Amino acid sequence: MGTGRTLHKKPRTRPVKSAGAKRRRQKVQQKRLVTLGVGEDEARKMGPRKVRDMLKRPAAVKKAVARKAAKAAAASDKTAEA
């Protein structure tokens, strides 16, 4: 059993990524961020690199979102008291 020309063609050995697949991946990654607690508008405004970096550490993202929510709640309590 020999190896013919088929396996020496570059697209055959390493498939080329398509633009549609890239957009789909980015959309899925943004949805994953939203499920972690990041706001939808905030996730949409982020660049793809930032989104990927945040998804590498989901526990840190959850902690940061909780901290931000607590800070917002404290600020709203101060305005309600005044």
Residue 34: domain span: 19-74
pLDDT at 1: 55
Q: For residue 54, give both structure tokens.
A: 């945040």
Does residue 70 fall inside a structural domain? yes
User: Residue 25: inside a domain, yes or no?
Assistant: yes
Please check whether residue 50 lies inside any domain of the structure: yes
Tell whether 55 is covered by a domain: yes
Give per-residue pLDDT as tens, 16-70: 789 999 999 999 999 999 999 999 999 999 999 999 999 999 999 999 999 999 9
Split into its structural domains, the chain has a count of 1
Q: Is residue 46 part of a domain?
A: yes
Angle at 42 between CA 40 and CA 48, to 5 degrees: 100
3-state secondary structure of 47: coil
Q: What is the pTM of this model?
A: 0.72
Q: Classify residue 15 by its DSSP letter.
A: P
Q: Is residue 81 part of a domain?
A: no
